[in-house]
Amino acid sequence: MEVYQGESPSCKENTLIGNFHFPLESAPAHSIVIIGFAYDKEGIVHVTIDQKGYDNQKEVTLDVRKRKVFNKEDIETGRIPVNYVAEKAIRLSENDKLGLDRRDELSGLAGEYEQALRMDEEDEIIDELEERLLEKIEEAEERLEELG
């Protein structure tokens, strides 16, 4: 099973953040398999998978924020994990409707946040930057909604 992060309905346009093996039991066609995802503010994705009626379950935890090892294939295919908080801020900072000050603020804060992640700063510093960035993203989205 491959787990992707992103806003596009297409896996090709999102980022592979992890994968794991889940062997299915032999079962009739259309048997139920339930997959659940939970994402917390620490950058942890919790995946649960359950093949109903076969006592076949698995729970996997993927640490999106700490993943730093990229293989050659990841780089060549563009599947390097992306922090979607920073990516969203950068995408918003490119919107001319926001005005230069807001755009610069979003871009600068996103850069600080990404740098803290790359430098493996203390969790408190990363959390504080992420919280500030999320506030600025929300403000920018509200502003864009007001502008139509």
Burial 10-39 (b: 16+ CB within 10 A, else e): eeeebbbbbeeebeeeeeeeeeeeeeeeee
CATH 2.60.34.10 placement within the chain: 2-72
* Two structure tokens written together for 54: 């076969």
pLDDT digits (tens, 9 = 90+) for 78-133: 555 557 788 888 888 888 899 888 889 998 898 888 888 777 778 788 888 888 99
Domain boundaries 2-72, CATH class? mainly beta
Q: What is the pTM of this model?
A: 0.49
d(Cα 138, Cα 50) in Å, to the nearest integer? Answer: 35
